[in-house]
Amino acid sequence: MEIKWIEPDSEAINAIITPGIRNLKAEDNLETVYLGGFEQDRLVCFAVFSRRLNEDPSEIYLEYLYTIPDSRDAGRCRTFVDACSAYLAEFSVRYILVKYCLVPDAAIGFNGLMRGCRFTPLSLTGRLLHYNSRDLKRRGAIQMILKNRDNLPPVECFERAGEDIVLSYLRKRGSIPVFSYAIDTAFSQVFINNNEVDAAIVASSPDGETLYISALYMDDIAKQKNMFLSLFSECLDAASRKLNDDFDIYFQLGDESIVQNLLTVFNPPDEEYMILEYMLCTNS
C-alpha cells in the first residue's frame, strides 16, 4: 500500500468526510494532514490527522479513519494504519493519539478496531453525560438544588479564588482530565476551607452555546454535605447569564462513583457516551 498526501478539498473524499472534520482546517493554529492509502493508484483508505502548532510536534491526533466499503477486510485497515505510522515517523512524529466520544454500543466495536490496529487504550472508563438546561428545570432538579442551596457553604469562582492555585491542587489529586476543554474561570466554582480545596467543579463553554463540565472534585466532608448542589447551582447561574436560556450541558467524568452520585441528583441523561482514548507509538 502506498501512502500519499491528499488535498483537503479532494473530490475523492469531500463527499464522504463529516462537516466537523472538514472544518478543522479553518481553526487557527491547527495543522491538518490528510493521508490516503492507494493500491494500484486507487484510493482504498484515508485518514485525517491534526496537531496544534504550538504543542509537542512529536504528537499528532487521528481525527478520522475511513476505508472504502468495497475494500474493507480484516487486515487492510491495520495495514493502512501501520503505513501511516511509518510515514509520519519520518516527520519526527512519535505518538498517534485518538480520542472519541461514542454511544456505548458503538464504543464496543470501535475499541475492537483500535486494538486491532495496535493502539494502546489510555482510558475506557470516562463517560460523557448529556442534559439540556430546560429539561433539568422541568424535571425538578434545579428546584431541589435551590431548596438546599441556602443550607450549604458559599462557593466562589476560580478567578476570585486564584485559578492557578486551585488547578495546581486538583492536578496533584489527579482530578483534572489530561484532555479537557480550556478552563473558564467564571463558570468554574470552588469551595476553599482553611486554605484547602474541599470541592471544585471545572467548566467551560468553548462554543458559547454549550456548557462542558470536565472535572468534579469533592473531599469526604464535601460529599457528606452534598457540596455538588452548591457548586453546580453557581456554575449554572453563571452559564445562564452568559449563554442562551436553552443550552446543552455535558458532564465529562471519569470517576464512576461521581457518575453514580450525579445520577442520584438527576434522572438518567438524555444521551450517554463513552470517552475512548488510545495511543500508538510510531516506532513500535
pLDDT for residue 88: 92
pLDDT at 141: 64
- pLDDT at residue 237, rounded to an integer: 83
- What span, in angstroms and rounded, lies between the C-alpha atoms of 7 and 35? 9
Which pLDDT belongs to residue 148? 66
What pLDDT was estimated at residue 179?
A: 45
The answer to whether the beta carbons of residues 107 and 115 sit under 8 Å apart is no
Q: Report the pLDDT value the prediction gives residue 96, as an integer from 0 to 100.
A: 93
Cell of 44: 482504498
CATH number given to 2-124+276-281: 3.40.630.30
What is the structure's pLDDT at 81? 92
| Average confidence (pLDDT) per 10 residues, the chain, 284 residues | 81 74 71 88 88 84 87 82 92 90 87 90 79 77 66 66 69 58 76 80 84 83 76 85 86 74 77 88 81
> Cell numbers at residue 187, please?
463558570
Which residue spans of the chain are classified as CATH 3.40.630.30? 2-124+276-281, 128-274
CA-wise closest residue to 96 among 246, 248, 254, 278: 278
Q: Which residue(s) pair with 157 in the sheet? A: 189
**128-274 CATH pick, 3.40.630.30, 3.90.75.20, 1.20.120.450, 1.10.287.130:** 3.40.630.30
Other CB atoms within 10 A of residue 284 CB: 10
